[in-house]
Chains A and B, each alone.
Chain A
Amino acid sequence: MNATPQNPLPEERLQRARRQAEVVEALARVLPSRAILSRHEDTVPYECDGLTAYREVPLVVALPETDAQLVALLEICHALGVPIVARGAGTGLSGGALPHRFGVSLSLAKFNKILKIDALAATATVQCGVRNLAISEAAARFGLYYAPDPSSQIACTIGGNVAENAGGVHCLKYGLTLHNVLRVRGYTAAGEAVEFGSEALDAPGLDLLAVVVGSEGMLAVMTEITVKLIPKPQLARCIMASFSDVESAGAAVADVIARGIIPAGLELMDKPMTAVAENYVHAGYDLAAAAILLCESDGTPEEVDEEIGRMTAALEQSGASRIEVSRDEAQRLKFWSGRKNAFAASGGISPDYMCMDSTIPRKRLAEMLRSIETMAQRYGLRCVNVFHAGDGNLHPLILFDANDPEELRRCERFGADILETSVRLGGTVTGEHGVGVEKLNSMCVQFSPAERESFFGVKRAFDPQGLLNPGKVIPTLQRCAEYGKMHVHRGMLPFAELPRF
């Protein structure tokens, strides 16, 4: 499944060794020796990100410590035509930070300072390697926090969040990374300083910040990010509701929103997931339920009271078989513990799992879960489902054993099937994890050749030489042609008839 052959030819290895010596020598002129790693045992730890099924050892790992060093590094790589793969904490789930065999993996770990928390302006300016949660911790003394909360928030960096446009359980109400970032500073592939957005609420010209956020390290190397902070809500309470079938759980989601309520979080777990989570955290989940909804309200005590009442009425009317409202903060956290640990719990019952990330219109939720059930039987693999139900973002976890190549292939086909079904239902192949290398084939299904070509046009506008994270996000025409043929082989056409809007 790797992009390169497992056993490269001797000539290729020789060529790589020469290139490595050349790049190391050039970098050694501008970086301290501790900032350059090239021995195999030093570069192997960088061979993958959170998507461990895909691995590649980088040519060189560089860890610059200052902007001046970073610029010098970029200029050298630009002059030599060396690909650059920027990397934060390596928690990404789509292989976006998968190294390039002939490229430099650029670790931004040393850019880890919080530069300014401005309580008056309610903003934080931090270097890209600062962890997501560290921003909220630093802002806490002012009663402020940074809202987007991907589940990896203890470890993942804000730079990675911006690169992936990370979401989280609270983005239904508080928005994605895109909605919470004011300004990004960094450098082009040529080492030229650039600033996207501003500390004002807009910047002149085209909204380049909007394309840089979520660009998976392909348009610029970012070093400094200014985010919006918001006041911490005084109170949060969570409703846990059980449903005897997934259809009524899906209808309940629509009912809550139809009443004009935007919950702070609205999450669904199916029955298999609930069982796995309960076994892991003992939160007291209803094991008889076909689906469990967690529905949260936050704000002032008066607001929360009013909203919990309206949410409860909606859930009851949609046929909830059991409803429990958190009495206090401890119980609220307990309700969430299973959801927050869903991935870890799944890791405990299977050697490996593959986490999918598509988004569908909310109303197709029950239909999608039924389709996944059917697929699980067809591919002979188990699948548990957690779901950011409020915004239609699914995380089916396909359980498999990566040591069994045949099982891995079935798992990949199962995953692709989920993604393509999501596109057919009017959704998208990735809601918050990014395309990386994992969903390159699925991009062939979601976008036409002309659309993919215009993505390449955007890439060239920022990075004419194509040095930043090459080969990710946008599949080539050739790759899509091969993927299309594979589909015909399996007796299916790649949904040529689909309306794509």
Chain B
Amino acid sequence: MAGARRAALDIRGGGTKAFYAEAPSGEPLDLTRLAGISSYEPTELVVTARAGTPLAELEAAIAARGQCLPCEPPRFAPGGTIGGMVAAGLSGPARASMGSLRDFVMGVSLLNGRGEVLCFGGQVMKNVAGYDVSRLLAGSWGVLGVICEVSLKVVPVARATATLCFDWDEPHALRQLYGWAAQALPLRASCWQQGQLRVRLDGSESAVRAAQRKLGGALLAPDVAAPWWDSVRDQQHEFFHLGDADLASGVCLWRLSVPAVTAPLDLPGSRLIEWGGAQRWWRSAAPASQLRAAAASAGGHATLVRAADKSPGAFSRPSEALMQIHRRLKQSFDPERIFNPGRLYADL
């Protein structure tokens, strides 16, 4: 029907990521009623759920069987859905060690701009039949169509965990992280901010205990550590909070994705560093061009996550050769530009 009248649709789940990417536009297409876990096979390590299924419901169901989504997708606020999680393609603290959300997508069914429901991938991990369109949809922000159902790989929850704290400056913390990354350690997540590095070890009892002895540092109490990691994952940590005064004075929240071994960046503002150095958050009032240039010269890119004014564009742009491929993909999947037009790039 939308195809016939060519109205733009804003695909919506829980609305928890409406602030991310470019601003939504068009008639809301509410997917929250397309909900429910369609199948869950703990011994197959796979769960299939419809797009509107609340992420909290899915996480509770798999936690009951001792499993989890290892990429720890950020939830931002209650009410987020599986479809939104995949469309945004964001990953949390464990991404550097466990892989990204896209790595755990096994299959997707998609409603394209011609009103066809298409299935890509499936419910098995090893699957090279046809192009891997299901993983292309992870992080596509809905521009290729409506994700209707998703199959995800799940993994067992680690049997033991410990969070260690070190009072180190940024260069020293980064050097230590690089050294640890090259050793067989159960290092699952890291976060540096304001002179303190925190690392989370997850693994078997023996591996976590041995690593604890090897790394030293101060042990953070488990009942403090778990909610603290959640606050980083969900951006509830105070670092991520921009008040009205911040926004009014031009402070923005930036995400810089750079090679982990990038030297400390010299930018105005304050920073929080995750993923062993590969994800660097900045609260900064510096011009977009300065942050984008810093990220690009390190071989990475910068996303304008929260700001009063997103006119510099939420995402860095790929090369013109790749933009051409983006446009042709959009043309192929959604020729009338019905779904989430402009959500990823204004001209897409």
Contact = CB atoms under 8 A, between A and B. Distances in A.
Interface in A221-254: 231-234, 254
Interface string B123-145: 11111111111011011100110
Contacts of A132: none
Contact of A300 (B89, B124, B184, B300): B184
B140 A303 contact: no
Contacts of B331: 461
Nearest to B126: A431
A446 B332 contact: no
Interface stretch (B1-9, B162-170, B194-202, B313-321): B313-321
B184 A231 contact: yes
Nearest to B97: A230
Interface stretch (A11-19, A27-35, A336-344, A359-367): A359-367
B261 A201 contact: no
Contact of A361 (B103, B123, B204, B210): B123
Contact of A206 (B157, B258, B326): B326
Interface string A384-413: 000010011100000000000000000000
B299 A460 contact: no
Given A194-B322, A257-B43, A431 B124 contact: yes
Interface residues of A, number: 99
Contacts of A175: 99, 103
B82 interface: no
A307 B298 CA distance: 41
Interface in B188-243: 203-207, 209-210
Nearest to B316: A204
A306 B126 contact: no
B47 interface: no
A199 B128 CA distance: 24
B72 interface: no
Given A361-B44, A447-B130, A501 B109 contact: yes
B126 A171 contact: yes
B299 A199 contact: yes
A171 B126 CA distance: 9
A199 B277 CA distance: 12
Contacts of B122: 426-428, 501
A221 to B, nearest CB: 13
Contacts of B157: 260
Contacts of B44: 361-363, 392
B300 A198 contact: yes
Contacts of B325: 208, 461-462
Interface in A171-217: 171-172, 175-176, 178-179, 188, 192-196, 198-208, 210-211, 213-215
A44 B150 CA distance: 46
Interface in A310-359: 359
A260 B66 contact: yes
A307 B256 CA distance: 38
Interface in B329-348: 329, 331-333, 344-345
Contacts of B300: 198-200
Contact of A299 (B144, B181, B184, B326): B184
B133 A458 contact: yes
B284 interface: no
A214 B114 CA distance: 26
B42 interface: yes
B283 interface: no
B81 to A, nearest CB: 18
Contacts of A426: 122-124
B257 A122 contact: no
A260 B261 contact: no
Contacts of A362: 43-44
A434 B258 contact: no
A435 interface: yes
Contacts of B322: 194-196, 205, 208
10 contacts: A118-B261, A203-B301, A204-B318, A206-B344, A211-B131, A302-B209, A303-B207, A391-B126, A431-B124, A450-B112
Interface of A: 118-122, 142-144, 164-165, 167, 171-172, 175-176, 178-179, 188, 192-196, 198-208, 210-211, 213-215, 219, 231-234, 254-255, 257-258, 260-262, 299-300, 302-303, 305-307, 359-363, 388, 391-393, 426-435, 439, 442-443, 446-448, 450-452, 454-455, 457-462, 464, 473-474, 500-501
Interface of B: 41-46, 48, 66-67, 89, 95-96, 99-100, 102-103, 107, 109, 112, 114, 116, 118-120, 122-133, 135-136, 138-140, 143-144, 149, 151, 155-157, 159, 178, 181-185, 203-207, 209-210, 257-261, 275, 278-279, 298-301, 303, 315-319, 321-323, 325-326, 328-329, 331-333, 344-345
Please give me the 9 A-B residue pairs with the lowest Cβ-Cβ distance, nearest first.
A457-B332, A260-B156, A302-B206, A461-B328, A431-B126, A210-B135, A254-B43, A200-B300, A199-B259
